[in-house]
Amino acid sequence: MNRTAIVTGGTRGIGRAISARLSNDGYKVAATYAGNDEAAENCARDIGVTCFKFDVGDFDACVEGIKKIEAELGPVDVLVNNAGITWDAPFHKMSKEAWDKVINVDLDSAFNMTRNVWEGMRERGFGRVINISSINGQKGQFTQANYSAAKAGLIGLTKALAYEGAKKGITSNVVAPGYIDTEMLQAMKPEVLDGIIAGIPAGRLGKAEEIASMVAYLASDEAAFINGATMTVNGAQYIAG
Ligand code: NDP
């Protein structure tokens, strides 16, 4: 294995589990992050990946960031667009700032990153683009008009890329996690968390490693014929048609 993978937001939560899994599978992994240096240092130390700090919502920062990654680790074969944020509010109270910020970090980022590795993937005749959406992009969610729109947007983007990349050996797929046991959920009130778990037929939260194994499969040669798909990993909480 001599492939290079970028995992955006790869230093914490689900992204960190993806970085760890791909590193363990033999990829040279660039884990990107926004500002939490301590988490990045821990990630580099514990799982031996290289971390790069830049804002995936900023196109020019992505141009520079990808240049640095390629200079250090080589051309990018696998791109996992995982970085994401939430800024929840009921729609009648949602600010333009909350809308713009979530669309920028959760959706524009996928354009900013993918656009800057796409031509290289086409030239080399191989690529894997894996976009991390969400159950709430599939079904919508109260107080998450911005997040649901961004995460649904990733699914449309992925389908279009699947058509365009197919003849060039590039696959583009979505992983749509349900509720995963990460810091975000651990910060919730116990009664809210119990309510969420009660709505999951599997009777538990998902594990970040379960998302990482789906990503690892989609990145592999074995998954070459899977293109434009949305892989739902949610313990049967929402079964998309
Ligand atoms: P975390 O909040 O734990 O981690 C987010 C990561 O993204 C961090 O590394 C963070 O960097 C990075 N990041 C945030 N904003 C930017 C930015 N502007 N530029 C670069 N990096 C950025 O997220 P989760 O692990 O909970 O979620 C990962 C993905 O999975 C997200 O897209 C989320 O929407 C999706 N998801 C999560 C679910 C869950 O249950 N947790 C369920 C469904 C989907 P830093 O550490 O510097 O802040």
> Which residue range forms the structural domain that includes residue 195?
4-232
147 catalytically annotated: yes
Q: Is residue 187 part of a domain?
A: yes
Distance 147 CA to ligand 1 centre (A): 12
What pLDDT sits at residue 66? Answer: 98
CB of 83 sitting under 6 A from ligand 1: yes
Q: Which of 147, 163, 179, 217 is catalytic?
A: 147
* Ligand 1 pocket mutation, candidates 66, 85, 237, criterion most atoms within 8 A of CB: 85
What's the pTM value of the predicted model, to 2 decimals?
0.98
CB of 233 sitting under 6 A from ligand 1: no
Q: Is residue 237 part of a domain?
A: no
Q: Is residue 174 part of a domain?
A: yes
- 86 CA: nearest ligand 1 atom: 34
Q: Is residue 239 part of a domain?
A: no
Q: Is residue 238 part of a domain?
A: no
Q: What is the CATH number of the domain that holds 219?
A: 3.40.50.720
Give dist(CA 231, CA 223) in Å, integer.
12
CB of 183 sitting under 6 A from ligand 1: yes
Q: How far is CA 132 from CA 92, 124, 153, in A?
A: 27, 24, 11
One pLDDT digit (tens) per residue for the chain, 241 residues? 799 999 999 999 999 999 999 999 999 999 999 999 999 999 999 999 999 999 999 999 999 999 999 999 999 999 999 999 999 999 999 999 999 999 999 999 999 999 999 999 999 999 999 999 999 999 999 999 999 999 999 999 999 999 999 999 999 999 999 999 998 788 889 999 999 999 999 999 999 999 999 999 999 999 999 999 999 999 999 998 7
Total domain count, the chain: 1
Amino acid at site 236 = A
Q: Is residue 157 part of a domain?
A: yes
Q: Is residue 241 part of a domain?
A: no
